[in-house]
């Protein structure tokens, strides 16, 4: 099929590459032209502007927007709306807030333009492994995109079939899923990231306990100096806690068990935050998802004001001066 | 090699079966004789009593104790200590507290009996997949056990090699690991279970948000009725959150997306609790591990006294009567 | 001064009573007329409709709206806007979301109507103790309201002066505070309630530990049967944890230490939720505020879907069937 | 009455002073003699050694030990045990672990020496306000101490009587309480401190949200620059969140709203940790108590190893390099 891609960052460029591997024709545009040139060299059709990209695509067009969520996405889609025609499809493949999807889709619907939101997971490994796709939007538009989605997704691969799957239809086993109406794709991807933070935090706390197991605060015969790289490795085989995140942890710890090259400043993106807001709005207790996010907030500060308030109270009632 | 097994519950019996598959000779004992008879039928040598088991083994003996942690393990090892000789090895393969290992080992050491603690993970799948083994104890004794450990463990299998592993020696890649001196095996297994609880909780909260996404508390155009079975399935392919626990979740949800056959009462074993105690003793923040455990505590009560205290305060200051 | 009050629920009616005690003239309106009649009997001027209330007030008018936050407040203020004139002041004294204040104020500003948001705390005790007032809005309007605010607030009372207060100006010591521009009053009140939830939860967990201290899970010589009413009482004198919430807890426990008349279903209002959203938006770790809210969410369900997911995983990997 | 005091730190010395105010005769000992001299100057009888102290007291003796919990207390009580006689009473007034009380009491009981554990709260303010006393031990011994306890405790003071208290007997209203058998006093004090940490954390998070309310991450019309000193002050009057800890916060913020003199390193003592262990042992969800303790653990580190693990995973799957 023919598809336009706007935004050639790591994710956008690799999705184009993967699409070309499967024989799709890609018209590509990026704010900085060097990335366009690079993909032209690999077989894509370059576009010099949004207008150029629109003109080079045959209607009804399919345009995948893969730019930073928030204002940039808002602007690009706003500009596209003026250039597109009835029955064209805009895919927002970034990490947009699902409420923005709903709002934008309602506006575009008036022009007969279809809006499809796709959450993608796969990171730097996606080019070869394929990307897990979580999709929201109108049934017809999503069906039309099927050949593209199938190519970007990982497919069944060598992963064992889930018992009981035979009776269930659908594409989930292929690694892509139409989750529901507009916004549903980003909603599912949002929670995916919330869960991801908490999974990461679970391992992180466990390895922190291991690193601290030789603390001198502990009685001598309860102190252990543990090899965290080996522990991560042994857990990869036969244990209940095996996962892809554990595989990655094993790689990092095999390089340097002290992880001394990593600062410990941990960023968070909107999805982790929005996941909590969604939990709060529907009154779901989300204890570990919250704790995982707050750890990241805390990691980026030298001291919180909260901690100073604690110090101040301790001084006031007990005369304690913290060092 | 020759090995004695005391305790033929699900784990003990399957470890015997796996050992026999690899050609080891197993003398087996259980409090109830029917399980002994069953394994005799499969090729093991049955023992009618602890004494009988000890006599049927050639010194220096290797005896794997696989009975419930706590008092039962304490008693069995106590009785064994009277019957064994210098250089015999007792393996505690249950879920013992590492501080009990240290204490018991110090007593046995005086008699020249070696004590090895092994934490095992693998559940009902271990017979075929092999068991991940986390081992503590004196170097020599653990080395002596190597052929047995290698057979029980999963081996490298088809799991991809961790980059950088080549330079690192050891058995971690085979699925078994000598973690350190006595207690270290159960210490690592303990934290393993603490991490396991939190990983489970992370997925559980995510799916709870999905199930609640069609809550009528939400604005109509932000309500989603999601197919949780399909979401679990699609995440198994190419996504960052893929794991064995997710595979199991996908199986359960494929059977019944409402999970109506499950009560939601969730037990916890000692390890989750001891993990927190270890974290507290070495001053490691363990937010998600704690939250995961507390959810289980809460799940087994209709209402906590804490909640009644909240209701009572609300009534006192606001006149609120909760329904 | 002359003031109109719309909404004669517990809070609205008692504020009117308090204002009348201090000699203010109150024109009152309520959706159901019996409450109007009651306050007329106590000296207020009744109004039969919003129009009637507006007509009975001399411009520039001051109208305090004390109706349920959300749609009701939105509608009442919407209707008022059509009836009022330049320089009139609308006070939203309910528990509105501060972002709604900002939006509403911006609309009213075009008509020259001033909007002041006031968060009030004091519950059923406020009539006699006075209400703590947290105020947002334009400086001039708030200054104009000063005689009213001073009457509704508790005043200095017998509470000890904070050392260092002498140099600081302002009304905080009188129990009312102009916190900042529009929305700031409700913002401060919102966080107030978030903090309140966590304070309550702190005591609640402590008393839960006391009630569980005679659990048979514990060793016999570490079991305690504690008198929670006496503990609450003794903490009221000389201890670091003394507070008004503790006073209330002591009252409830003195009546019935088992609190058997309280269900343990605990409601939450918007403020606790919005507090977390504000924390998330400004990247502040809010661990205890979150945990306190989630406990309330959990208290209203028999079992969460999350707990069923945990049960299901446990069954899949370990064959555990929870009772 | 006559009483011996061992340990003249801030708490011990002030309790002696308070006892002397009420006419009790105090024999005092301290490891460093200058503190003894100081209290002699104020009217106490100095002792040059433990032996001297024991000799200067008339049997049956009452000796209050007020030294650091843990090894120091263990040693002092061990030495005393050799010097005392049947029917003497040892009071451990420090912050001992209740399980140590139980163990020590069982040993002393064989000699007929009574052991009473007293948890005290009151900080630097206790000399004038009196100390809240939580007491464990045998009924007879505690009754014997009544005149002393009454003097150290705050008494009813001007604090309002709890409705319903009239029917309940006992000393709780006087600010001291015999909580139960040995250990019960320190158990109640332990949880008291656990609750105290969480109350402090609740306020701390609230004020952190206020300080961050002018964050540039927020939309311009939702940014507030708030006066935290004034907010603490206004909450002291009429609000639901009033407390002694809030009074102290108001003092600190009145001095410097930025709290720039406080480092934000926050210590924790054993009690907060033991409270969690008690909660875990009796399966009580203790979410806010835990979060409060973990915040303190975190406050004393530049970065946790956990955070580095998170950074490392992010790098591995997404190529993210944290600054």
DSSP codes of every residue in B182-251: TTHHHHHHHHHHHHHHHHHHHHHHHHHHHHTTT-TTS-GGG-----HHHHHHHHTTT-TT-BHHHHHHHH
CA D16 – CA D4 distance, rounded (Å) = 9
Q: Indicate yes or no: CB of D294 within 8 angstroms of CB of B287.
A: yes
Give a yes or no: residue C320 inside a domain.
Answer: no
User: Measured between CB atoms, which of C237, C244, C284 is closest to D242?
Assistant: C244
Active site residue C308: no
* Residue numbers in B near C208 (CB within 8 A): 304-306, 309
Co-location of C128 and C204 in the same domain:
no
Co-location of B197 and B89 in the same domain:
no
Cβ(B254)–Cβ(B279) below 8 Å: no
**Least CA distance to A255: which residue of chain B?**
B164
Catalytic residue among D196, D205, D271, D322: D196
* Residue numbers in D near C195 (CB within 8 A): 202-203, 205-206, 241
C193, C218, C311, best to mutate vs chain B, most B CBs in 10 Å = C311
- pLDDT value for C299: 97
Q: Indicate yes or no: CB of A290 within 8 angstroms of CB of C290.
A: yes
Q: Indicate yes or no: CB of A310 within 8 angstroms of CB of D299.
A: yes
- pLDDT value for C323: 63
More confident residue, D166 or D275: D275
User: Measured between CB atoms, which of B181, B212, B239 is closest to A122?
Assistant: B239
- Decide: helix, strand or coil at residue A1: coil
Closest CA–CA distance from residue B261 to any residue of chain D (Å): 25
Q: How many domains does chain B have?
A: 2
Closest CA–CA distance from residue A155 to any residue of chain D (Å): 20
Residue corresponding to tokens 């005679």: C214
- Residues of chain C scoring pLDDT < 70: 322-323
Measured CA to CA in angstroms, residue B149 lies from B29, B152, C28, D242 at distances of 20, 5, 83, 62
Give a yes or no: residue B319 inside a domain.
Answer: no
- pLDDT value for C283: 97
Is D321 a residue whose pLDDT tops 80?
Answer: no
Give a yes or no: residue C323 inside a domain.
Answer: no
Cβ(D26)–Cβ(D16) below 8 Å: yes
Indicate the average pLDDT of chain D: 96
Compute how many other C-beta atoms are within 10 angstroms of the C-beta atom of residue D183. 28
- pLDDT value for C217: 87
Query: Which residues, listed in sequence order, are joined to residue B114 by a DSSP beta bridge?
Result: B89
Q: Indicate yes or no: CB of D184 within 8 angstroms of CB of C239.
A: no
pLDDT in tens, B262-283: 989 999 999 999 999 999 999 9
Active site residue B110: no
Closest CA–CA distance from residue A243 to any residue of chain D (Å): 12
- Phi first, then psi: give them for residue D121, nearest 5 degrees: -125, 145
Query: Beta A114-121 vs A132-136: how paired, if at all?
Result: antiparallel
- pLDDT value for D2: 98
Closest CA–CA distance from residue C234 to any residue of chain D (Å): 4
- Phi first, then psi: give them for residue D12, nearest 5 degrees: -60, -45
Closest CA–CA distance from residue C313 to any residue of chain B (Å): 6
**Least CA distance to D210: which residue of chain A?**
A305
Query: Beta B45-46 vs B62-65: how paired, if at all?
Result: unpaired
CA A212 – CA D312 distance, rounded (Å) = 18
DSSP A124: G
**Least CA distance to C267: which residue of chain A?**
A283
D305, D314, D321, D323, best to mutate vs chain A, most A CBs in 10 Å = D305
Q: What is the ipTM of this complex?
A: 0.96
- Phi first, then psi: give them for residue A243, nearest 5 degrees: -170, 170
A266, A290, A298, best to mutate vs chain C, most C CBs in 10 Å = A290
CA C25 – CA C45 distance, rounded (Å) = 8
Q: Which of A158, A180, A202 is the last residue of a domain?
A: A180
> What residue ranges in chain B does DSSP mark as E strands?
2-6, 25-29, 45-46, 62-65, 89-92, 114-121, 132-136, 176-180
- pLDDT value for D323: 64
- pLDDT value for B167: 86
User: Measured between CB atoms, which of A172, A226, A233 is closest to B188?
Assistant: A226
Measured CA to CA in angstroms, residue A235 lies from A80, A202, A230, A241, A245 at distances of 49, 14, 9, 7, 12
In total, the C-beta contacts within 8 angstroms joining chain A to chain C are 49
Give a yes or no: residue D321 inside a domain.
Answer: no
| pLDDT level of residue D308 (50, 70, 90 thresholds) | very high
Co-location of B107 and B156 in the same domain:
yes
Taking Cα atoms as reference points, which of C41, C17, C271 lies closest to residue C126?
C17
Q: D15: domain range?
A: 2-180
Instruction: Tell me which chains share at least 3 CB pairs under 8 Å with chain A.
Output: B, C, D
- pLDDT value for B323: 63
Q: Indicate yes or no: CB of C247 within 8 angstroms of CB of D160.
A: yes
Closest CA–CA distance from residue A118 to any residue of chain B (Å): 13
Co-location of D89 and D134 in the same domain:
yes
CA A127 – CA C150 distance, rounded (Å) = 67
Catalytic residue among C174, C196, C281, C322: C196
Give a yes or no: residue C50 inside a domain.
Answer: yes
DSSP B317: H
Co-location of A106 and A41 in the same domain:
yes
pLDDT in tens, B287-322: 999 999 999 999 999 999 999 999 999 999 887 776
Q: What is the CA radius of gyration of chain D?
A: 24
Q: Which of D132, D155, D180 is the last residue of a domain?
A: D180
Measured CA to CA in angstroms, residue B76 lies from A255, B92, B113, D153 at distances of 43, 10, 15, 52
Q: What average pLDDT score do residues D154-170 get? A: 91
- pLDDT value for D241: 97
Indicate the average pLDDT of chain B: 96
User: Which residues does C contribute to its contact with A (CB < 8 Å)?
Assistant: 240, 273, 276-277, 280-281, 283-287, 290-291, 293-295, 297-298, 300, 304, 306, 317
Co-location of D59 and D153 in the same domain:
yes
Catalytic residue among A40, A174, A196, A233: A196
Co-location of A24 and A43 in the same domain:
yes
Give a yes or no: residue B259 inside a domain.
Answer: yes
* H/E segment holding residue D254: helix D244-255
**Least CA distance to B290: which residue of chain C?**
C291
Q: What CATH number has the domain bearing residue A41? A: 3.40.50.720
D235, D313, D315, best to mutate vs chain A, most A CBs in 10 Å = D313
Co-location of A170 and A249 in the same domain:
no
* H/E segment holding residue D237: none
Cβ(B27)–Cβ(B53) below 8 Å: yes
CA A85 – CA C215 distance, rounded (Å) = 71
Closest CA–CA distance from residue C90 to any residue of chain D (Å): 20
Q: Indicate yes or no: CB of D294 within 8 angstroms of CB of C287.
A: yes
* Residue numbers in C near A240 (CB within 8 A): 317
CA C196 – CA C194 distance, rounded (Å) = 5
Cβ(A297)–Cβ(D102) below 8 Å: no
Q: Indicate yes or no: CB of A162 within 8 angstroms of CB of B237.
A: no
Give a yes or no: residue B126 inside a domain.
Answer: yes
Which of D77-106 are b and which e, b meaning 16 or more Cβ less than 10 Å from the residue's Cβ? Answer: beebbeebeeebbbbbbbbbbbbbbbebbe
* Residue numbers in A near C280 (CB within 8 A): 273, 276-277, 293
> What residue ranges in chain C does DSSP mark as E strands?
2-6, 25-29, 45-46, 62-65, 89-92, 114-121, 132-136, 176-180
Query: Alpha carbon A75 to chain centroid distance?
Result: 21
* Residue numbers in B near C131 (CB within 8 A): none
Taking Cα atoms as reference points, which of C124, B150, C287 lies closest to residue D202?
C287
CA A116 – CA A178 distance, rounded (Å) = 10
* Residue numbers in C near D123 (CB within 8 A): 240
Co-location of D176 and D299 in the same domain:
no
In total, the C-beta contacts within 8 angstroms joining chain A to chain D are 193
Q: Which of D143, D162, D180 is the last residue of a domain?
A: D180
- pLDDT value for A124: 81
Residue corresponding to tokens 């909580």: D179
- pLDDT value for D320: 76
CA D127 – CA B197 distance, rounded (Å) = 48
Query: Beta A89-92 vs B114-121: how paired, if at all?
Result: unpaired
More confident residue, B213 or D168: B213
Co-location of C144 and C207 in the same domain:
no
CA B39 – CA B135 distance, rounded (Å) = 26
* Residue numbers in A near C290 (CB within 8 A): 287, 290-291, 294
Measured CA to CA in angstroms, residue A268 lies from A120, B197, D64, D209 at distances of 17, 23, 53, 18
Q: What average pLDDT score do residues B63-67 get? A: 97
Co-location of C143 and C194 in the same domain:
no
Give a yes or no: residue B313 inside a domain.
Answer: no
Q: What CATH number has the domain bearing residue A226? A: 1.10.1040.10
**Least CA distance to D268: which residue of chain B?**
B283
pLDDT in tens, D97-121: 999 999 999 999 999 999 999 999 9
Instruction: Tell me which chains share at least 3 CB pairs under 8 Å with chain C.
Output: A, B, D
Q: What are the tokens at D111?
A: 């000699």
- pLDDT value for C211: 97
D105, D231, D288, best to mutate vs chain C, most C CBs in 10 Å = D288
Measured CA to CA in angstroms, residue B277 lies from B120, C97, D232 at distances of 21, 41, 36
- pLDDT value for D125: 86
Compute how many other C-beta atoms are within 10 angstroms of the C-beta atom of residue C221. 14
Co-location of A94 and A242 in the same domain:
no
Longest dimension (CA), chain B: 76
Which of C1-26 are b and which e, b meaning 16 or more Cβ less than 10 Å from the residue's Cβ? Answer: eebbbbbbeebbbbbbbbbbeeebbb
CA C13 – CA C8 distance, rounded (Å) = 5
- Residues of chain A scoring pLDDT < 50: none
DSSP codes of every residue in C192-238: HHHHHHHHHHHHHHHHHHHHTTT-TTS-GGG-----HHHHHHHHTTT
**Polymer length in residues for chain A:** 323
């Amino acid at each position: 099929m023919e598809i336009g891609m706007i935004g050639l960052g790591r994710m956008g460029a690799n999705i184009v590459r993967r699409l070309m591997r499967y024989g799709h024709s890609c018209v590509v545009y990026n704010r900085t032209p060097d990335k366009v040139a690079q993909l032209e060299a690999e077989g894509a059709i370059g576009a010099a502007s949004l207008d150029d990209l629109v003109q080079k695509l045959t209607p009804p067009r399919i345009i995948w927007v893969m730019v930073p969520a928030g204002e940039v996405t808002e602007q690009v889609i706003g500009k596209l709306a003026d250039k597109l025609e009835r029955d064209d499809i805009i895919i927002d493949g970034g990490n947009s807030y699902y409420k923005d999807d709903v709002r934008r889709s309602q506006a575009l619907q008036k022009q007969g333009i279809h809006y499809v939101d796709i959450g993608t997971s796969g990171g730097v490994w996606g080019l070869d492994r394929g990307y897990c796709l979580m999709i929201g939007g109108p049934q017809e538009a999503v069906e039309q995109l099927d050949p593209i989605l199938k190519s970007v997704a990982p497919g069944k691969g060598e992963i064992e079939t889930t018992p009981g799957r035979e009776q269930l239809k659908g594409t989930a086993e292929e690694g892509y899923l139409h989750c529901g109406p507009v916004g549903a794709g980003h909603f599912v991807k949002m929670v995916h990231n919330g869960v991801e933070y908490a999974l990461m935090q679970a391992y992180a706390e466990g390895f922190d306990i291991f690193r601290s197991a030789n603390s001198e605060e502990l009685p001598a015969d309860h102190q252990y100096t543990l090899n965290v790289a080996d522990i991560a490795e042994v857990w990869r085989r036969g244990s209940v806690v095996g996962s892809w995140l554990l595989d990655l942890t094993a790689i990092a710890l095999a390089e340097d068990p002290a992880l001394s090259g990593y600062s410990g400043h941990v960023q968070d993106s909107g999805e982790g935050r929005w996941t909590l807001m969604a939990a709060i709005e529907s009154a779901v207790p989300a204890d570990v998802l919250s704790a995982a996010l707050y750890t990241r907030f805390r990691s980026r500060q030298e001291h919180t004001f909260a901690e100073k308030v604690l110090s101040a109270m301790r001084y006031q009632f007990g005369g304690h001066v913290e060092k």
